[in-house]
Chain A
Amino acid sequence: MPWRLMRFALSREHPEGRMFRTYADLKDSYDVVIIGAGGHGLAAAYYLARDHGITNVCVLEKGYIGGGNTGRNTTIVRSNYITPEGVRFYDASIKLWEDLSEDFDLNLFYSRRGHYTLAHTDSALRTMRWRAEVNKHYGVESELVGPEFIQRELPMMDMSCGGHAPVLGALYHAPGAIARHDAVAWGYGRGADRRGVEIHQKTEVTGISVNSGKVHGVQTSRGFIHTEKILCAVAGSTPRLLSMVDLQSPIYIHPLQAMVSEPTKPWLNPIIVSGSLHVYISQSARGELVLGASLDPYELHSTRSTLDFTEGLSAHILELFPFLSHVKIVRQWAGMADMTPDFAPIMGKTPVEGFYLDAGWGTWGFKATPVAGKTMAHTVASDSIHPLITKFSLERFRSYALTGEKSAASVGH
């Protein structure tokens, strides 16, 4: 429990200061420039300053902090992946998550709920058994549970899904959690700011200067900055940034939509995912149901919402929870997901010296925020790839050494 909250109780006026400072001008040069002030970029800035003592850092953000996919995801944190590399990586993230509120002295509403991935077919059950075994091997709490267990824990769920997709079992992952996503960006931003990192909002990167294969500087809407190290953490804008340094990647952009319902009394503790029905649902601390589905079916560089999405997702949610038929949807939105062919991220060094990449986060990036920040900070500070992320390199697409994580994606995309 963050003790800072006590001050609010004892103070006559609201004592909370700004989360970070603003600067009139950019400096001429920085040791590291981070492009993108989302969770990942700010986390990297935080760990660069805290763990590596590199504080002459600026974080450039075209919009406002946490306004991209950090503020657009459905806030689910889990580590029940299928590849050993993925399981180890996301498990390290969960361990960081659990201490993060204390680290920041800021309440992230990190709430461990338990996470069910429902299986409606034999083949889904097989994949879940596989995931459970890989998880257990690496010390992650996951197990296959049968319909009786699920019905006991979720008595309000229609186990037959209207009769056409009966639930045969589930992958139950006890550490599955949700967190307040904006606070994650603020917490990392404030922590980085206090250690001397500059955060510059409304500052767009318009070009990157590369001299004989080495990063030389960044052209921004507010002038040129000299730097020898750039960390690119811009999710849906990654292809555009990569084109500035003439790098090719397999990243393609599809929108991912989500929506929330009006608040209801607490009735749903765990997080429920169904790949077959293309839904995931959890209940936030405010009582809203946070609902997501699969990717939009074609490339689009836009955050527009569609009625098709709301209709399709609502129909599937009603198959699981028919009693929600009178609950209203209050908001819907979209984010631009930077998808990769194997559903694993693209992290680490690139053929351009001093240009580090933290991308390919598609629909799975929020949960990785702490560990991505930590491993990228290590990679940038030491110019050597952190051991947890070697299998996520851009190079893997040249050597045909993919890290197949698709079957552990929340819903079949």
Chain B
Amino acid sequence: MKMIACPIQGLRPVSEFFYWGEVLDSPDPDTCTDQEWADYVFNRNGVAGIKKEWWCHIPSNTWFVAERNTVTDQMVRTYFYGEDGRC
């Protein structure tokens, strides 16, 4: 089975993880237009590439960011949100 490196638990099987999509910056709901909000809510960058994504190790409820190649399914690196200013 595919293994994923949780920043706390180390390598664990993919079945222990939950995927929550690409990391997106939310516009300020008080000041943005309806169109900007619709864009944030619905639109996705569906093009293949190396993406920053939210993943969670379910048993330990560890949320982290993974940079993953969505063509080869290889994890480039995993880290906590905000760590090293990388997110």
Contact = CB atoms under 8 A, between A and B. Distances in A.
Interface of A: 238-240, 242-243, 248-253, 297-302, 304, 306-308, 338, 341, 397-400
B19 A397 contact: no
Contact of B48 (A301, A397, A399): A301
A239 B49 CA distance: 12
Interface of B: 1-2, 14-15, 18-19, 21-22, 34-35, 38-39, 42-48, 51, 53, 70-73
Contact of A300 (B1, B22, B47, B70): B70
B43 A299 contact: no
Contacts of A297: 18-19
Contact of B70 (A250, A301, A307, A308): A301
Contact of A240 (B1, B14, B47, B53): B47
Given A301-B70, A397-B38, A243 B43 contact: no
B46 A252 contact: yes
A75 B5 CA distance: 38
A292 B34 CA distance: 39
* Dominant secondary structure of chain A at its interface with chain B: loop
Contacts of A300: 70-71, 73
A397 B43 contact: yes
A398 B42 CA distance: 9
Contacts of B38: 397-400
B39 A248 contact: yes
Contact of B44 (A250, A302, A308, A398): A250
Given A298-B53, A301-B71, 4 more contacts: A239-B46, A250-B43, A308-B1, A399-B38
A70 B72 CA distance: 23
Q: Which 8 A-B pairs have the closest CB atoms?
A: A239-B46, A298-B19, A301-B48, A250-B42, A397-B42, A248-B43, A251-B46, A239-B47
Contact of B71 (A238, A302, A308, A398): A302
Contact of A249 (B22, B34, B43, B53): B43
Contacts of B35: 398
A239 B51 CA distance: 15
Contacts of B21: 252, 299
B45 A302 contact: no
A301 B46 CA distance: 9
9 contacts: A239-B45, A239-B47, A248-B43, A252-B46, A301-B70, A302-B71, A306-B2, A308-B15, A397-B42
A254 to B, nearest CB: 10
Nearest to A311: B1
Nearest to B46: A239
**Chain A CB within 10 Å — which of B44, B46, B70, B72 has the most?**
B46
Contact of A304 (B1, B53, B73): B73
B72 A302 contact: yes
B46 A302 contact: no
Nearest to A240: B47
A171 to B, nearest CB: 29
B53 to A, nearest CB: 8
A298 B47 CA distance: 14
A238 B44 CA distance: 12
A291 B39 CA distance: 36
Contacts of A398: 35, 38
B80 to A, nearest CB: 19
Nearest to A307: B1
Nearest to A253: B46
Contacts of B39: 248
